[in-house]
Chains A and B, each alone.
Chain A
């Protein structure tokens, strides 16, 4: 086997970025050197062998999504158990039996935390869906509906962003009588402005593109153009915006519940757990605050990871960052 051929082999392996063929080439090289051939010097070879970025990103997305779905499902199943209290087990520090410890009434904190996270994910899902649909509709109308519609929607967006988010959530939750719907609708109605701006800009860009102009001069109806040209173009942005809305929605749900305007106290929720833990801080029951908060942080990070990953997959220009 000629030297040239070996090079070509290495090179094609590198071009494909295919681990298997790279390995085959190096095995081949090893056997060749064992047979007394002189080994060629390889100048370009990745220092660390790894997955290519796209595969890695896909994997991260899938794993995060799987963990989140698992937490949500397990949480729903654990809901009845989370309500059970066992006073003989009250106030226990984390142990093998109760990894997150138990609270004043003997609730197992791990079970309560998972159940609470499941509630949070549910509310986040609902709120992000509603909010993103509002954003999609308003953003499209602002971009396509003429000057007056645009001015109105821009003003509304500015108004929404003009009141601090938490204060707005307080007001909406209060208006709806607090409780589950107070927090769910509050979070759902307040997260659309930034995505609305993105979608408006995106639609404006598509509107000015030549293929839309061609479609229009071919006599396509506005509805046809919206469904066949605008929608596919903004869909990636919409999906990414939707997923990146989750972390915000979940954090706000927890915050508003913590302040006492959200879920009722008997429901297992991270906000409730943490606001209850405040009374026991000075007694030294640190586990009541530490673990549920960490779990919430983890869920938020997972959503963020999944969203960022999806953005990379959908936007090849930024995929190698």
Chain B
């Protein structure tokens, strides 16, 4: 157990190191000049040499890549993630603010898609070959091919613009001071993006659960339960459900990477101030420190999800529990 924890800590540190190097190199070789991208062409042209040199120092364009990385890494080890030049605030502060929104959005979508996916998968599996099974299967196949951001646009258009049931964007009403914002306001703003995000995540779990349900419904213990006089539905509920729920949950954890990717797009459409929107902003504005910070946080979230999934797989299936198995 102790070696397991230690190994995962080492794995995590190596991952963070690799991700930060990759991000720095990718941003470093970019031909985009952060100064010109942020200041604007006309303003840049009318500046004096001194001002330009100042700006170059501010954005760190003069220093070589390796040196920049060393500076960043040594500060990072001491807990300083640098300053976001775009938001004019410490990166850690921006990350904490934004993470709250994104995590709330992802958690809600994650739970909803898990519940819907599980339910749809079980129904389709029990009623295999019937009309309802075909409808659910078709729905999942179509959803898996639907561009997330397009779905978000349509949802926004129908429910926010036409019907006016939900606000068009942001995580709270504009013009209200932070103290006046109620939990109801926050919920009102999060429902539409979260629903959109969850709809996209459903297909994966539903199809997987369907396959599993079909396997289980053909098993000896379900047949035995039915022989004892239980109905198909009862047998599925009493004996099938617990065999289905855990694999679905671990699959959900393993798909966190996709949900995060979806949240970037959904946040962009709904102008929802989360990590994804900040990442797009940082990319557009060449905000290296923030970009590195967000990449690290997203990689950490994915790592956490995969770790939980792997632990759950071991808990569910004792056959995987081998000594020295890489977790």
The answer to whether A304 touches B303, judged by C-beta atoms less than 8 angstroms apart, is no
Pick from A167, A170, A261, A282 the residue with the most CB of B within 10 Å: A167
Contact of B15 with A174 in the complex, beta carbons under 8 Å: no
Which residue of B157, B303, B306 contacts A281 across the interface (Cβ within 8 Å)?
Answer: B157
B23 touches A289 (CB 8 A): no
B110 to chain A, nearest CB (A): 14
- In the bound assembly, the distance between CA atoms of A261 and B291 in angstroms comes to 14
- Contact partner of B261 (CB less than 8 A), chosen from A166, A270, A290, is A166
Contact A176 B30 (CB under 8 A): yes
Min CB distance B57 to A, Å, is 22
Docked-complex contact B261 and A301, CB < 8 angstroms? no
Given contacts A167-B298, A255-B265, A281-B156, whether A177 and B30 have CB atoms under 8 Å apart is yes
Interface residue SS majority, chain B: helix
Query: Does B294 contact A175, Cβ atoms closer than 8 Å?
Result: no
Comparing A5-13, A36-44, A155-163, A209-217, the segment that makes contact with chain B is A155-163
Q: Which A residues are in CB contact (< 8 Å) with B150?
A: 274, 289, 293, 296-297
A164 at the interface (CB under 8 A from B): yes
Let me know if B99 is at the binding interface, CB within 8 A.
no
Cα distance A171–B156 when bound, in Å? 28
In the assembled complex, which residues on chain A have CB atoms less than 8 Å from the CB atom of B286?
Answer: 174
Instruction: Determine whether B26 belongs to the interface, using a CB cutoff of 8 Å to chain A.
Output: yes
Count chain A residues whose beta carbon lies closer than 8 angstroms to a beta carbon of B: 40
Question: Are the C-beta atoms of A290 and B154 separated by less than 8 Å?
Answer: yes
Binary A-proximity of B225-269 (CB < 8 A = 1, otherwise 0): 000000000000000000000000000000001101100110011
DSSP class of A's interface residues: helix, strand, loop or mixed? helix
A-B contacts at CB below 8 angstroms, number: 132
A163 to B21, CA, bound (A): 13
Q: In whole angstroms, how far apart are the Cα atoms of A175 and B23 in the complex?
A: 9
Q: Give the complex CA separation of A117 and B267 in angstroms.
A: 25
Closest to A303 in B: B145
Assess A174 versus B161: contact at CB under 8 Å? Given A289-B154, A293-B153, A297-B150: no
| Residues A261 and B283 in contact, CB atoms below 8 Å apart | yes
Q: Is the CB of B265 within 8 A of A258?
A: yes
B269 in complex: contacting residue of A167, A260, A278, A282, CB < 8 Å: A278
Q: CB-CB < 8 A to A161: which residues of B?
A: 257, 302
A167–B262 CA distance with the chains assembled, in angstroms: 11
Q: Indicate which residue in B149, B283, B298 contacts A255 across the interface (CB closer than 8 Å).
A: B149
B133 to chain A, nearest CB (A): 13
A164-B260, A167-B295 are contacts. A289–B15 as well, Cβ < 8 Å?
no
B70 within 8 A of A: no
A178: interface (CB < 8 Å): yes
- Contact partner of A301 (CB less than 8 A), chosen from B22, B142, B306, is B142
Do A172 and B257 contact each other (CB < 8 Å), given the known contacts A259-B280, A260-B280?
A: no
A258 and B146 alpha carbons, distance in the complex (Å) = 14
- Write the nearest CB–CB distance from B159 to chain A, whole angstroms: 12
A309 in the interface (beta carbon within 8 A): no
| A247 in contact (CB, < 8 A) | yes
Alpha-carbon distance between A170 and B161 when the two chains are bound, in angstroms: 30
Q: How far is the CA of A284 from the CA of B18 in the complex (A)?
A: 47
Q: In the complex, what residues of B have CB within 8 A of residue A270's CB?
A: 147
Residue of B nearest to A160 (CB): B22
Is A167 a contact partner of B153 (Cβ separation < 8 A)? Answer: no
What chain B residues lie within 8 Å of A290 (beta carbons)? 154
A274 x B154 contact (CB < 8 A): no
Q: Which residue of A lies closest to B259 (CB)?
A: A164
A111: interface (CB < 8 Å): no
Please give me the residue from chain A that is nearest to B275 by CB atom. Answer: A167
26 residue pairs bridging A and B, Cβ less than 8 Å apart = A162-B257, A162-B303, A163-B299, A164-B264, A166-B261, A167-B279, A171-B22, A172-B26, A174-B30, A174-B283, A175-B26, A175-B27, A178-B32, A247-B145, A258-B265, A259-B280, A260-B280, A274-B150, A289-B154, A290-B154, A293-B147, A296-B147, A297-B146, A297-B150, A300-B146, A304-B145
Knowing that A166-B265, A166-B276, A289-B154 are A-B contacts, what are 16 other residue pairs whose CB atoms are under 8 Å apart, sorted by A's residue number? A161-B302, A162-B257, A162-B299, A163-B302, A166-B261, A166-B264, A171-B23, A174-B27, A174-B283, A174-B291, A175-B26, A177-B32, A274-B147, A281-B157, A282-B161, A301-B145
Q: Nearest 9 CB-CB pairs, A to B?
A: A293-B150, A175-B26, A166-B261, A300-B145, A177-B31, A164-B260, A171-B26, A164-B261, A289-B153
Residues of B bordering A, CB below 8 Å: 15, 18-19, 22-23, 25-27, 29-32, 141-142, 144-150, 153-154, 156-157, 161, 168, 257-258, 260-261, 264-265, 268-269, 276, 279-280, 283-284, 286, 291, 294-295, 298-299, 302-303, 306
